Chains A and B, each alone.
Chain A
Amino acid sequence: METDDKHLSIGWSSAVMVFWLAAACATTLKSQSPGSSSPSGRPAVAAIMETPIKDYNVENVSIAEALVKLRAQDYRHVLIGFEQVPHREGEKRAPISLKIDAGTLGNVVQRLCQADPRYEYQVVESPVGQPKLKGFMIEVRPRGAVNNPADILNMRVGDYEVDSNITAAGAISRISQDAPELREYLERKAEEWAQRKGTHSGEIGAIMSGNMVPPRFTLRLRDVTVRQILDAISLKSIEIYREEPDVDSRGMRGKPYPTGWRYNFVINPDASTGIGGIPEWTAL
């Protein structure tokens, strides 16, 4: 099972890399070094890694589910950015079981990455925009992802700006619209796909929203990667959590906890996105 998955992953990466490399000049994909890990990949010791974890118990779950469960240990302090290995819809991998009665976040993440060696982790120690929040979140991502020029999260964005009443989760899910280079790239690929297929694109709208007006979310970043933007959005959510009252002016309770991010790419060569699959940015 594991061998099959590795073959699948490598095969896909190779195919897409060739495809994207052709566009690399236009999109100026560059590798980045968001953290301060050593070349060996060992993360620097940071406060988040020492976050106490108690009674952590997952059985037969994916690493994505395990991270969701890990975050539920302490929503205020466990902040994770998770880039999932590209996969086909419904694809299963050998499940993870892990039981830790008392440990730290570092222990758990390390064990999870050992259980699914396709992943590595790194503390975000040089966040853009929020230098005071270094060491407040970790990234779990495919091994070598930050140096993979085909990884869409490494795409450079010249000027990212959000200034509206949205939640951090909303900003994460809208990044494909708010990051100009990413938006233009995705639009162009979709248009190229439509032209190749000789079909016309359209939109199905099913836009959900809530009745809460979130606090103002203002973030402007220049010359950063998509990955750095996602990290910055998550770290911004810490600031908002600290500043917002427990009950807003309308009497609504429950300011959002600091919000992590998740990037998921479902491989589908026929997808109308034109990039060999469907990318999805969501809150974690």
Chain B
Amino acid sequence: MTANDVHYYLTKLRLNPHETRMIDLRQLRDAQVPDYKNNLIPAQATDGSVNWIRIDNVAVMGRLMVINRGAGMASNYDCCTGFCPGTLIPGSMDFTPASATVAVADGQQYHATVTYMEPNLVEDPIDQTDWGVWSSQYTDVATVNDTAMATGVAGGTSTISIAVNGCSQYITYYYGGACYCYTPATEPGSGPLGVVSVTTPNGPGNIPLLLSGSGPNSSTYSATGTPSGGTYSWTPTSSKVSLSNTSSATATVTSVSASVSQNDVPITVTYTFGGQPASSTVVITVSQPTSLKVSTDTTNPTGHSCVAGSGTPSCSQSYIPGSTSYSSYLRNRAYLIQDQFSNWMSGWNMTLNESYTTPTGACASTATLQTGSGSGDTVTDCFYFCNSTCQSGGSCSVSSTQTVTVNGYSVAANSMNFTCSGVTINGN
């Protein structure tokens, strides 16, 4: 309708066959609700004109009545101008939003408005949101239903499209009074819909604590956000870890203090694209090396060679003074390193060390203690005893307490007793 030179569009007015609809223009004026083009019916308007358009090839009757509250119907205009419907104006599609981003499972409402030309050359925008054919380029990224509601399915970008079918040129056969479409037209509209998602941070389920030594006590965690080109932000929600490189796809998580319960440390990554954030969280455990669990324990009575001379000792061979060699026992023991929850801290190259109290016993002062160190998630120890007294058939014993540390934490204190015939560990 037009009042005071202002066009006010009822873009969604659509009649069913044989329906008669009354529109209270005064009510529309007083409501002061903006139309599709943000126009308002002037509040002071008391008269104007009404145009209507039909875009389907069916007849529409229109009647404008002016009712005076005191005098009843003051005016009554009846009109049915033109034989043919309005024609679709190619390129007139107004598709909104032109681009959008949503999170997975969130929705985005689209709108499509096409402008038609009335036979009297007045242009009318018509909301075709519910009447066009909607589609999504990649339905595994986003779907769209008949009412133009798109829903994010998975990370990525999909083009949301609508096709509005119409006619851009009619011809009329006056004799029959019929109107035919001469130039069918399809008006397209589309825009990219970014569905923002981020993968679950990829990294180990636990991070060891480090008290001293060379580690480790940190790990990288990676996530991938889609569509590409967004920004990353990592946040711990626990003081048990600290984070660095928090604005990249890969962050470094460093342990600070031990978990109280398993998986009590959440690590969250937030990926933001087009102003739309998406987050993902993984929960981890900060593991403190706490104990050792025996995995294998074997003894070979003649597994070690006590060689006369000097050199670098190993599990299979060591050196004694004199000129003759002999065989001694070799005990091999392996342990799994466990955390405070008695879980094996598998997959970590932890720093392993051992120390011994000053040996005591009959041969303590004559023996050199050979120790070792290493790294890994498993501790292996080999025990042997080479002594000239043993070689000559005498008896000898040396006692000491072994302390094993992993990443600087003491995980075992074993009472060791070496004799000529064997070694006991905590009496075993």
Contacts and interface: CB of A to CB of B under 8 A. Distances in A.
The yes or no verdict on A and B being binding partners is yes
Interface of A: 68, 71-72, 75, 89, 167-170, 173, 177, 187, 190-191, 194, 197, 199-212, 214, 237, 246, 248, 251-259, 268, 270, 272-273, 282-284
B373 A254 contact: no
B343 to A, nearest CB: 15
Given A75-B215, A257-B216, A208 B321 contact: no
A52 to B, nearest CB: 13
Contacts of A194: 321, 366
Contacts of B212: 68, 71-72, 284
Contact of A256 (B216, B220, B385, B418): B216
Contacts of B96: none
Contacts of A205: 304, 313, 315, 318, 370, 382-386
B158 interface: no
Contacts of A206: 354, 356, 369-372, 381-383, 402, 416
Given A203-B318, A254-B350, A169 B213 contact: yes
A266 to B, nearest CB: 8
A270 to B, nearest CB: 7
Contacts of A68: 211-212, 408
A230 to B, nearest CB: 14
Interface string B376-410: 11111111111111100000101010101000100
B375 interface: yes
A227 B399 CA distance: 33
Interface string B99-125: 000000000000000000000000000
A202 B416 CA distance: 17
Contacts of B408: 68
B314 interface: yes
Interface centre among B215, B383, B402, B418 (most CB of A within 10 A): B215
A206 B402 CA distance: 9
Contact of B349 (A197, A212, A284): A212
A199 B216 contact: no
A208 B216 contact: no
Interface centre among A177, A208, A212, A258 (most CB of B within 10 A): A208
Nearest to B352: A210
Question: Considering the complex of A and B, which 6 residue pairs feature the smallest CB-CB distances, nearest first?
Answer: A254-B216, A210-B374, A210-B376, A202-B387, A200-B388, A212-B376
Given A201-B366, A256-B215, A169 B351 contact: yes
B136 to A, nearest CB: 39
Given A187-B310, A201-B320, A201-B367, A252 B376 contact: yes
Given A252-B377, A253-B348, A256-B216, A204 B402 contact: no
Contact of B219 (A177, A251, A253, A256): A253
Interface stretch (B16-24, B39-47, B223-231, B357-365): B357-365
A209 B314 CA distance: 11
B309 to A, nearest CB: 11
Contact of B321 (A191, A256, A257): A191
A106 to B, nearest CB: 21
A207 B348 contact: no
Contact of A255 (B216, B321, B354): B216
Interface of B: 204, 208, 210-217, 219-220, 304, 306, 310, 312-315, 318-322, 347-354, 356, 358-359, 363, 365-390, 396, 398, 400, 402, 404, 408, 416, 418
Contacts of A170: 372-374
Given A177-B312, A206-B354, A207-B314, A252 B349 contact: yes
A252 B348 CA distance: 6
B224 to A, nearest CB: 17
A92 to B, nearest CB: 17
A253 to B, nearest CB: 6
A208 B379 contact: yes
Nearest to A67: B212
12 contacts: A167-B375, A194-B366, A199-B366, A201-B368, A203-B385, A207-B381, A209-B380, A210-B377, A212-B374, A212-B376, A254-B350, A273-B368
Given A167-B374, A200-B321, A206-B356, A283 B213 contact: yes
Given A168-B214, A208-B381, A253-B348, A201 B376 contact: no
Contacts of A214: 375
Given A201-B366, A251-B347, A253-B347, 18 more contacts: A168-B214, A170-B372, A177-B312, A187-B310, A199-B365, A200-B366, A204-B385, A206-B370, A208-B372, A210-B349, A210-B352, A210-B374, A210-B376, A211-B376, A211-B380, A255-B216, A270-B365, A272-B366
B376 A256 contact: no
A203 B370 contact: yes
A22 to B, nearest CB: 22
Given A89-B358, A206-B354, A211 B398 contact: no
A200 B320 contact: yes
A72 B365 CA distance: 37
A267 to B, nearest CB: 12
Nearest to A258: B214
Contacts of A268: 358
B214 A237 contact: yes
A284 B408 CA distance: 10
A210 B389 contact: no
Given A199-B366, A201-B368, A169 B385 contact: no
A76 to B, nearest CB: 9
Contacts of B380: 208-211
Interface centre among B212, B304, B371, B375 (most CB of A within 10 A): B375
Interface centre among B358, B359, B365 (most CB of A within 10 A): B365
Contact of A209 (B368, B374, B396): B374
A65 to B, nearest CB: 9
Nearest to A273: B368
A90 B315 CA distance: 31
A214 to B, nearest CB: 7
Nearest to B396: A202
B386 A202 contact: yes
A246 to B, nearest CB: 6
